């Protein structure tokens, strides 16, 4: 235990040598401190942003987003050039989507993955070509399927046998052909939180590659879906899809899933005398939320996956399908920080085990730092036990480190923004805190709990900030209340 460390802190959390330092993996390029110690982004100080837009506020670097998107496209195209001529990179819109982001994605040569009619509407408003869109979801409505066909989507990722039949019937009734990929569960369990591990069998997504289906003895649900898809005149079967989870750092799971799907795709093409020209290996690449997280560069991910695909196709004696991937968090997550204003503070004393037999437990202080947002703008800590970091952003400080818990203003004891972080002991009401790594699944999961208005999102580029999503007002909240007389 280093000096000033607390026995209440988790084992991975070290006391920073410099509380004013901005650790590089956590922040977007262009985020730094100015001569006064204030956090800036592309030269704009957080106090300027607060004065113009208020808090809480999502602050995004447009240039960093574009750079990360381009890095994935360039790295995967280079790694797969000799295998299948490059890779189709679909940005996972569920992580964060608005019309500006959809436009940036298109500008940088990426495609866009959507999961609902609403996300399709955003893509349409942004002018994304239908051929560059995909539609996911385990329970697509007839309206969403029709919308996908109206927009001439590049692919619909089918999640079940029931849905495959429904897509085929709707397409047939329109005299059209639906381009389909089949989402399979390869049984590869990513080392991640149970609620975001999506390749094991006992969950709602995908067609199982294991066991017998209920229809044809000896066929898995995955093979039954391939057989059915080939029998529908209104279905063009492009290939297979899988997604093994989220916030994954090690390549082993991706490699195993790729091998299983390539072998299955090869077997199905031989058995049913078909060609499936595409294979989507999903996303789930991790980012740094805390100093101990070790994300891999896009080029390293690409080279590792290319090596597996290259060797597996060689072993199987097959031509490699066109590969696609779906990064979301890995592109947008670190581009953004959330800016909060500190309100009340309190310190409590908490028992900690001494570890010595016969010796009484000792109490240690934990400080609660309340901010003007919370679980309504970041639900991930309460949903997934997600860890974050934070810094004092409005000024530098030479005060000692104090173990703190950053909490929101909601009427929930689980309303925690950052569970454990060392902040300067002199943090006070009116200070600004910045929480990095909030670009993915924070605004997307935001709510109006306790009738808090959802924050705005500003994009900063070349020293200028502009709203790309307007923050809500109380009037916005009341406009949907049909008991309120409009005067």
Angstrom distance (rounded) from CA 139 to CA 262? 26
* Per-residue pLDDT, 205: 79
Q: What is the model's pTM?
A: 0.93
* Per-residue pLDDT, 353: 66
Angstrom distance (rounded) from CA 63 to CA 30? 9
- For residue 478, pLDDT over 80 is answered with yes
* Per-residue pLDDT, 49: 98
Q: What are phi and psi of 399, to 5 degrees?
A: -70, 160
Tell me the mean pLDDT in the region 268-290: 95
Average pLDDT over all residues of the chain? 92
Q: Which of 2, 31, 30, 33 is nearest to 15 (CA)?
A: 2
- For residue 5, pLDDT over 60 is answered with yes
Over the stretch 306-345, which tens digit does the pLDDT of each residue have? 999 999 999 999 999 999 999 999 999 999 999 999 999 9
**DSSP-derived secondary structure letter, 274:** -
What percent of the chain clears pLDDT 70, i.e. is strictly above it?
92
Over the stretch 57-91, which tens digit does the pLDDT of each residue have? 999 999 999 999 999 999 999 999 999 999 999 99
Q: Residue 215: left if φ>0, alpha if ψ -120 to 50, beta else—which one?
A: alpha
Residue 270: which residues within 8 A CB-CB, separation 6 or more?
none
Residue spans of beta strands (DSSP E) within 217-335: 235-241, 278-280, 322-325
* Per-residue pLDDT, 27: 98
Tell me the mean pLDDT in the region 474-478: 95
Decide if 84 contacts 322 (C-beta within 8 A). Answer: yes
Task: Give the up-direction half-sphere exposure of residue 11: CA atoms within 13 A in the CB hemisphere.
Answer: 0
Tell me the mean pLDDT in the region 441-465: 97
Tell me the mean pLDDT in the region 415-434: 98
Query: Which of the two residues, 203 and 134, has the higher pLDDT score?
Result: 134
Place of tokens 């929101």: 408
Q: Which of 224, 222, 142, 124 is nearest to 178 (CA)?
A: 142
Tokens standing for residue 463: 């020293």
Over the stretch 229-260, which tens digit does the pLDDT of each residue have? 999 999 999 999 998 878 887 777 888 889 99
Decide if 22 contacts 33 (C-beta within 8 A). Answer: yes
- The most distant pair of C-alpha atoms in the chain lies apart, rounded to whole Å, by 80
* Per-residue pLDDT, 141: 97
- For residue 197, pLDDT over 60 is answered with no
Q: What pairing do the DSSP bridges indicate for beta strands 416-424 and 464-469?
A: unpaired
* Per-residue pLDDT, 253: 80
Confidence of residue 194 (pLDDT cuts 50, 70, 90): very low
Confidence of residue 1 (pLDDT cuts 50, 70, 90): very low
What is the DSSP code string of 149-190? HHTT-SEEEE-SHHHHHHHHHHHHHTT--EEEEEEEE-----
Angstrom distance (rounded) from CA 219 to CA 198? 22
Q: Which residues are catalytic?
A: 411
Which residues does residue 267 pair with via DSSP β-bridges, in sequence order? none
Tokens standing for residue 147: 């919308």
Over the stretch 6-38, which tens digit does the pLDDT of each residue have? 999 999 999 999 999 999 999 999 999 999 999
What is the DSSP code string of 71-130? HHHHHHHHHHHHHHS-EEEEEETTSS--HHHHHHHHHTT-EEEE-SHHHHHHHHHHT--G
Q: What are phi and psi of 193, to 5 degrees?
A: -65, 140
Residue 425: which residues within 8 A CB-CB, separation 6 or more?
399, 400, 401, 402
Decide if 443 contacts 58 (C-beta within 8 A). Answer: yes
- For residue 395, pLDDT over 60 is answered with yes
């Amino acid at each position: 235990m280093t000096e000033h460390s607390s026995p209440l802190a988790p084992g991975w959390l070290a006391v920073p040598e410099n509380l004013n330092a901005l650790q590089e993996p956590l922040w977007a390029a262009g985020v730094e401190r100015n001569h006064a110690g204030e956090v800036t982004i592309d030269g704009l100080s957080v106090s300027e942003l607060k004065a113009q837009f208020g808090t809480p506020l999502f602050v995004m670097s447009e240039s960093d987003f574009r750079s990360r998107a381009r890095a994935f496209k360039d790295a995967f195209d280079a790694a797969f050039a000799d295998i299948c001529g490059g890779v189709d990179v679909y940005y996972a819109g569920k992580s964060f989507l608005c019309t500006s982001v959809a436009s940036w994605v298109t500008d940088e040569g990426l495609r866009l993955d959507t999961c609902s009619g609403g996300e399709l509407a955003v893509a349409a408003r942004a002018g994304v070509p239908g051929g560059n869109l995909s539609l996911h979801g385990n329970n697509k409505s007839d309206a969403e399927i029709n919308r996908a066909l109206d927009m001439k989507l590049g692919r619909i990722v089918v999640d079940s046998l029931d849905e495959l039949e429904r897509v085929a019937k709707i397409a047939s009734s329109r005299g059209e052909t639906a381009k389909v990929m089949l989402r399979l569960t390869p049984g590869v369990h990513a080392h991640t939180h149970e609620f975001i591990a999506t390749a094991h069998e006992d969950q709602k997504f995908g067609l199982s590659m294991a066991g017998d289906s209920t229809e044809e003895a000896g066929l898995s649900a995955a093979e039954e879906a391939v057989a059915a898809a080939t029998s529908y005149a209104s279905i063009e079967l492009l290939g297979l899809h899988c997604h093994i989870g989220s916030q994954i750092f090690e390549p082993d799971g991706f490699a195993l899933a790729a091998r299983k799907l390539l072998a299955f795709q090869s077997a199905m093409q031989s058995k049913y005398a078909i060609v499936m020209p595409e294979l989507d290996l999903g996303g789930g690449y991790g980012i740094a939320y805390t100093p101990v997280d070790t994300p891999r560069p896009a080029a390293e991910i690409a080279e590792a996956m290319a090596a597996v695909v290259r060797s597996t196709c060689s072993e199987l004696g097959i031509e490699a399908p066109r590969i696609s991937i779906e990064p979301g968090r890995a592109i947008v997550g670190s581009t953004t920080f959330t800016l909060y204003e500190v309100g009340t503070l309190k310190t409590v004393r908490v028992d900690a085990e001494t570890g010595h037999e016969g010796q009484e437990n000792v109490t240690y202080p934990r400080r609660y730092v309340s901010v003007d947002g919370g679980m309504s703008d970041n639900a991930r800590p309460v949903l997934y036990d997600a860890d974050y970091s934070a810094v004092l952003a409005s000024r530098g400080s030479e005060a000692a480190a104090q173990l703190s818990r950053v909490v929101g203003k909601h009427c929930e004891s689980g309303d925690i923004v950052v569970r454990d972080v060392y902040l300067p002991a002199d943090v006070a009401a009116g200070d600004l805190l910045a929480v990095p790594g909030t670009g993915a699944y924070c605004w997307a999961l935001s709510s109006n709990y306790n009738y808090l208005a959802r924050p705005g999102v500003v994009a900063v580029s070349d020293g200028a900030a502009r709203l790309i999503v307007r923050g809500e007002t109380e009037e916005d909240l009341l406009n949907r209340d049909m008991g309120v007389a409009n005067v």
